[in-house]
Each structure stands twice: as structure tokens, then as C-alpha cells.
Structure 1
């Protein structure tokens, strides 16, 4: 079969000229530059020494058919090597780069012709006339090294002029040094491109499909891609750092004048971290909600203008796809949409980010919310459907493994008819009596504080407004919100005295949320011992464990925390039977909780 890519070597100057002319699109040039200045220095030194600096990999955008029937040749989009090329543009051409704080700055690399060393410019070097302080200024005279040589010798009249001339000639020759350039054919699918990338990249870096999409967006100037790319990046950054709002307004007035900026302005006063989406999350949600497709590879194809029936690329499809993506991203960032969705998630008991162990489930739930809203479902139906689907997804680990295929299948069912009916059918299929009585109980037979099923139990307790273990007034929700203690019902140190290992005492069914002071008072006592103290205070004795002083109230607290009735008299020998009984009670509580959603 014919090769699906070409491999050539091109001079640094040629590659930089392609970038300046727009023949190569570098998506990362408008994103924060993640390299340290020392990495830039080391890259220049490697080129100076004639060392290899790795391949650049570009994927040519397909040529698209315009409405008049003519073909528009696609750009090369750099998918690996953005940091290296950006570094060269900064050091050789003097371009500014964005810092991690989204501030434009110059990276100045100095060169010493005597020691033939590169360094990041600092005040000491700037005062030392034996250094050329900024090689980008010297590179402007690459065609005439004598000009640079003459200026240097004027400040350093006693140097070995032959040595200096050779060093300056070698410095300016960096522009002629060759870099390997791999160009992938436009008709390759993402899976093939990813495989080629991994085989070529010696570091074994995995290429993310969302990176393809972001590269495609940034490279598509005629469709408003660069501004859309900024909207996605800026929203994600502001979600984590609200103070970034002021920096955008000050440093990017062009973007600050757009509707994108106005729609995300609410983030400047928002400190909630329940859902801090990445650009991958935003693209997935928009792909599902706006295109009714679950695979990001399909989004890349549509943004390229692919007609899935004819397998040709058409400008009209690309233009329409960018409009739809823009609408999907706008829906994502609207305050009313985002906040109402989070209200639904919180109403299911997920009040802290640590309770949510599946970002895929959260992403699909938000996409489902946006889709149902666009389809004008009744708000009450949307709320109930999204809440139940989200929890069902967690209960069944629906979006683990080949989750994109599951996304695709589920959103197509939403497209075909009433999603509420699909939800009911799915519940009958995957949440049978055997799931609640056996499947879920088995999932609770593990040792982990990070189990999604333990988190579901905590969410159930939050939703049902249960009190913390042995707490009279403090709820589990309040304990989670204020970082209360996760306590071992059979204390860890108590079980360790009997030779039990971590896997035994850290069983899911041995955990409860409680107040720190109660946890401390329990110490390493057997349940029989500390429950005796709780019973004593219910009989009029002094308060030692929390504020419960009524036997009925104590029994209700144990029921809320799924503590088997016989636990008041348990010791180490009863531990295995206790775990078995509590798992069954926990599973039943989660079932009760699900039915309230």
C-alpha cells in the first residue's frame, strides 16, 4: 500500500517562513507556553551543536470543495512540535509568548561567542559585553554575519577575532540547520494518526483526540476558529481562577469585546469547584449536545467538512459545523444552563467534587441536560431525568471502558424518541432486583475510601439528610462540606491488634462519617465498649460520645448509618458477619435513595 505520510528534513528558516506565511498552523501559539526559558536555551544549544531535536509532525487539512466547485487546499496543522516551533519563533524571530498567567512576554536567549554558550538573559549577562544579549537581534542580520561581528568586536577589542567570527557564523547558521518534518496524509483517520504519532514519538506521549479538535479549531481562521478556541480556553481557565477575568479584559481587548466574554463574565464571582471542566470536557459535551454524536473523531471530521455519505470534504459542511459547535459551546458557558445543571447534581447529594469519580458521567449528564432543554422538555422532567441518568451511570459504571461508543449509542436513543422512556427501559434492564440484592452488595465488598459505590452511599446520606454517626444534630452533608472524619466502626487500631491488614480493616462497610471529637473519644475501643458508653448517656449518664441522650434517637441514628441492630454487642470475632449485614443495608439505602430521585 502507498505510504500515508512523507518524511523530509527542512531548514529552520523554511519552517519558520511557513509559519509566518500561514502555511503551517500552530494552534499552541495562542495558548500558554509551558516550556521554561531554560528549555528554549537548551533547544538552541542542541541546534547549535548539530544535535537532533526530534521530528515535527503535521497533518494536512483536507482540501475542501467550495460552492463554486473549486478546491481550496488545506493548511498543514502542526500536531506535534508546537512547543519547539514556538520556542524558535520566540528566540530566533523575537515573537512574544503567553505565560501560564496569559501574559505576553519575550524570552530572550543570550549567546557568548567566546565560551560558545547560551543562557537565558538576566541582569548580570545584560551588563556583560562579552555576551550577545538577544540572539533574535543578531538573527536579523543572518545574511551578513560581518555586521554582527563588527558590532561585537567594537565592544570587545581584545578578543580573538577569528574565534568570534566562527562562533557568530555558527550561531547564525542555526537558521539553516535541518529539522525532521513528517507530513501525514489528509485522508487518514484519527486512530491511524494516533498510532503513527505514538510510533514516531520516542517519549511515548499519547495524542488526545481533543487536541486534534482544538488544533482544527485554531487553524480555521475563515470560520472564526481562533476566537472560538480562545473562548474554550479562557472559560476553562476562569472556572479554576476567577481572577483571570480582569487579565483577559486588560490583555485581550479583542476577545473582551465579544459575546463570548460577556457570556462567561459570571465566572469572575464564582468559586464553586464542583465541575471545573477542561477543554476536553467542553468539546465532549458540545459534540454530544449539538451534533448528537459521541465520538470526538466525528467532530474533527465535521469541522474538516466531511460528508459522511460521499466521503468528500465540503466547505458548506465545515462552515455549518463551526456554527453548530459555536452554539454548543455558547450553551455550555451560559450561566443559567451551568448553574441549573449543577443544582440538579447537588440535589442528588453530590455536593463536593470528591464524591464524583466519573467525569464522563458528569459530561454526558450535562450534554443530556442541554439536549433535553433544547428539545423543550418540561423543566421538571429534565430535572428528574438528568438526575436519575447521572446516578444510574455511576451505579453501573456505564461510561468506563469504551465510553465514546456508549455516548454515541445513548445520545442516538435520545435523538430517536422520548428519553424518559429510554431511561425507564434502561432501569428495567440494568437495575433489576438481583442488582440491588447481589450485584451492588458485591461492589461494596472492597477496601477503598475512593470507591464510587462508597461515594454513592455518602450521596444517599446527603440526599436523605442523615445525621453523622452518633451525631445528634450534624448531618453527613455538613460533615462532607466541612471535611469531617471518615471513621472505622471497628476502629483500625483495634483490628490491627488482632493482626488484621489494611485490606481487612479498610473495608467499605467499615466506614462512616462522624465528627472529629466523636472519632477521638472512640479511639481504639471495640464497638461493644463504646456503644456501652452511648447507651449509658442515653440512660442519664454523662455525655461522652456526641449529644445523643435518648435510646430511640440512638437507634434511629444507627438505622440512618446502616448499622446492624446487633452491633451494640459486637467484638472482633463478629467483624466478618457485621460487614456482610452492613453491606446489605447499605445497598438497600442506595436503592431507597435512587427511588427518591
Structure 2
């Protein structure tokens, strides 16, 4: 833990803090019984000539006295059920950071040395840290000799050479995936109960059940951190069109998709079948917002149905029921009436364009995939300032059906011109006129580009220039694009 005397603030130490002389990178030095506080103050002042020595001294003296503070204790009756204990644990810190079932589960894991929970807790924490900061590996190797000698560190060594932020899991993500895939349950409060030895039939607590639960959770975590498994699930998602973390926003959908992958592997399904199942399920999940309401309840329902029916039978029937033909022609165009650029429907549309290899709006060679990987512009087909002049509000001019993915130079060239004007100039451009917008010089290529970007071809004929009519038609075309993408994912 690091400490900033000037701000009197604690932080978890990191490489940036370690290099910043304004921080004491490790407060343990203050509490060392052999520490010379005066010497520590002099060293700090020498590194920070602009600080007030007296103020620094007073702050560090107060810091050193923390060890004299009394810590409040809440004693709980030993016969309390685990649900009550969990609720107390969560509520006791309600004035600070809100705690969750995952927090309680992590605490439960950490304090159990009998069944290796203390090492398992570190494995979860370290994997999450390494996924974000691969350089942290060397610090673990040097500073935590006990963990370095465990079976976990060698199995996550591969992370030290990886710089991929598509899916950086949190400890909650890891617990959800490991628990659901191994235990066939979806509620983390059940994990807490099982780690405590709860027998759900007799309502008693048995050490054998706790031991079994820690063993199964360990297997789930080992499966999660496997390079083969982690690489495979991220590859499947990326190959579906979800190229960046910005496009992978449905975290609970990702987690359950990982559960499906692990179940498919465990059941010995062919790799092609697993990939197809995983792609289709994730796409269905985000399009129907399956895990956005009560994710634990849905996790629990889905995994129990998988156990009862089999993973392939259940996923296939669920997808067919959730995405009937009427979804693509009726429901999807309706829900795309939104101005949220992070809506799952617009994200699915971008993934569809990336997967199908579409060119950027009015681009000859640059693809949507290229633009998404390089943070290409979202361009308004009906320019924002043009619509503002018409009196439209933000919620109207920022409709996702008014967005296309375009090169910045094309976006700049169009500016705030009326769509009727720049589309008529595009017609002139492909008939031998000046090239104002991109490099397309023939009508067939222009019409193909508009089709790829779901821009109604009628705009080239000076039609469909009423903004409301344009949005309605483009939503229909975008829904068709997403449907075609889903069919490709299913092939």
C-alpha cells in the first residue's frame, strides 16, 4: 500500500506510483519496529525539496499511530445461517463501497487455509491484475514466493506476454464463470453457502461439503485461466466481429458464453460445434438483453436447463424461440429507435459490418473493420449541424440509424451540408465530375457501398430525404444486415 503525505491518501502501489517521489511506495517502512521516523522524514524531504518538513513530519507521525487505533468488532452468533451472515457482511459497509455476494465469497475463500482458499484467492486476484498489467508478473514471482511455487502461477505465466484488453475479467467475472460451469448453479450466494459446508437438503453444515466445494471451485478457476480456453473464447468473440472492448459491453453475456464454451469442452463436443454454439448464443444474448435484468436468476435458470436437456439441445431451442422471423422484421427495427451509440443493437450492427467485411461509408479500400480497430469516425448521414438548424434535438439527430462508420477525411469533407446536396454531388462524382467524397468513381461501386452501409439507394435519386422516412427505412435495412450476420455466425 502506498501513501501520499501531501494528500494524506492511500493507494494500491503500482509502477507509476513507485516512480513518483511524492509517494511513499510502501507504508510498511513506517511501521517497521526498527524504523527511524526522523530518518524517513529526512529522506522524503530530500526527495521532495518543495515540501514543508514540519508538515511531513506531523503527517507521518499520525500515520505511524494508526496501529494504536481500535478496530470495531461485530460478534455474530455461531448458529446464524449463512444468508444472514452474508447480509450483515454486505450491509455493514453500506456507508462505503457497496459490497456484493462476490466480495463475501472472496473473503470466504481467502480465510480458508485448510482447503487452500488463501492461495486460490491470490490466483483470482493475480489473474485479474495480470490481464490488465502483464508487467506485474515479475513482482509476483519475486515478492510472493509461496504463490510462485503453487500450481497456479505457471498456468498464468502466458499472460506476461499478452497485451490484449478485449476481455479483462474482474474477480466477479471469474467467480461467476467458474462457479456456474462447475456447480451447475448461478447464484453466488449458493457458492458462499457451499464453501461454508451447507447441505441444502439437511440444512446442516458439513466439512466434507466445504472441502468438495473448494475443490470444484479450484477446478473451475484452473479451467478459466487456461491459455487454451481463454485464447479460444476471445478468438471466437473477435472473429464474430466484436473486435475491441468497446464492442464487448455485455459482460454478463460474455461470462455465460464462456460457461457454454467450458461446458461444451467438458462434454466433448467438436470444436466447430462449440464455436457455432458460442457465437450464436452471445449474439442472441446481446440482441435480447438476456442478462441485463437479473443476471444471477437467468444464469441459474439457463445452467439448470442445460444440465436437464443438454447444452446443444437447450441452446438451439432457446435461440429459435428468442429470435423468430418476426424478431428481425418487427421487433429489431423498433428497438433500434434509439440515440444510444452503446445500445446492443448498434454494437451488433457494427460487429456485423466488421464480420461481413463491409467497406467504410464512401471508402474504396478501407473496411469497417479497419476503422473500428483504429477508432474511425461515426458520421451522421444527415449532418448534425444541418439537423440542428432544422430544430431537432440531440435525441433525434443522434439516432443510431443516422450513424455510419466513415474515415475522418470523408466526414470532414461532408461537413454540415444538406444530404440532398452532397448526394447529388456524389452522383456527379461517379459520372466523371470532381472527386469530393472519397475515391469512388463509378455508380455500381457507389450503390454497392451504400448497400453495405444500409443507406437507402433512393437518396441518390433525390428521394427519401425526409429525415423520419430515412430513419425508418434505414432501421429496416440495418436489421436485415444484423440478420444476415447472424445467419453467417450460424453457418
> What TM-score range do you get, normalising by the shorter chain?
0.7 to 0.9
- Is residue 257 of structure 2 the alignment partner of residue 361 of structure 1? no
Q: 1:482 is matched with which residue?
A: 374
Query: Compared with structure 1, are the counterparts of its residues 595 and 132 closer, same or farther at alpha carbon in structure 2 (3 Å cutoff)?
Result: closer
- Is residue 41 of structure 2 the alignment partner of residue 122 of structure 1? yes
Q: 1:593 is matched with which residue?
A: 485
Q: Which moved more, 1:477-486 or 1:495-504?
A: 495-504
- SS of the residue aligned with 1:486? strand
The one of 432, 445, 468 equivalent to 1:553 is 445
The one of 446, 466, 473 equivalent to 2:358 is 466
Q: 2:13 is matched with which residue?
A: 99
Query: Compared with structure 1, are the counterparts of its residues 555 and 572 closer, same or farther at alpha carbon in structure 2 (3 Å cutoff)?
Result: closer
Under a length normalisation based on structure 1, what TM-score does the superposition of the two structures give?
Answer: 0.73
- SS of the residue aligned with 2:134? coil
Contact 1:198 1:204 in 2 (8 A): no
| Larger strand share, 1 or 2 | 1
1:449-481 deviation line (CA, Å, top 9, x unaligned): 111110000001111111111111111111000
Distance in 2 separating the partners of 1:240 and 1:479:
24
Query: Compared with structure 1, are the counterparts of its residues 249 and 557 closer, same or farther at alpha carbon in structure 2 (3 Å cutoff)?
Result: same
The ranges of structure 1 where at least 4 consecutive aligned residues each deviate by more than 3 angstroms after the TM superposition are 33-39, 97-105, 118-121, 124-138, 177-180, 184-202, 569-573
1:1-52 deviation line (CA, Å, top 9, x unaligned): xxxxxxxxxxxxxxxxxxxxxxxxxxxxxxxx4876689x79xxxxxxxxxx
Q: 2:316 is matched with which residue?
A: 424
- SS of the residue aligned with 1:320? helix
Query: Compared with structure 1, are the counterparts of its residues 502 and 245 closer, same or farther at alpha carbon in structure 2 (3 Å cutoff)?
Result: same
Distance in 2 separating the partners of 1:383 and 1:126:
59
Contact 1:526 1:571 in 2 (8 A): no
The one of 323, 328, 339 equivalent to 2:215 is 323
Contact 2:86 2:104 in 1 (8 A): no
Distance in 2 separating the partners of 1:248 and 1:562:
51
Shift of residue 407 of structure 1? 0.3
Distance in 2 separating the partners of 1:407 and 1:485:
36
Distance in 2 separating the partners of 1:120 and 1:217:
40
- SS of the residue aligned with 1:513? strand
1:152-179 deviation line (CA, Å, top 9, x unaligned): xxxxxxxxxxxxxxxxxxx79x85x754
Distance in 2 separating the partners of 1:494 and 1:349:
32
Contact 2:5 2:60 in 1 (8 A): no
1:315-356 deviation line (CA, Å, top 9, x unaligned): 111111111111111111111110011111012110111012
Q: 1:371 is matched with which residue?
A: 263
Ranges in structure 1 where 5+ consecutive residues have no aligned partner: 1-32, 43-86, 88-96, 111-117, 139-170
Distance in 2 separating the partners of 1:486 and 1:419:
39
The one of 369, 390, 393 equivalent to 1:501 is 393
Alpha carbon RMSD of aligned pairs, Å? 3.1
Q: 2:95 is matched with which residue?
A: 203
Contact 1:306 1:313 in 2 (8 A): yes
Which of the two has higher C-alpha Rg? 1
Aligned residues: 470
Distance in 2 separating the partners of 1:119 and 1:568:
79
Ranges in structure 2 where 5+ consecutive residues have no aligned partner: 19-24, 47-52
Under a length normalisation based on structure 2, what TM-score does the superposition of the two structures give?
Answer: 0.88
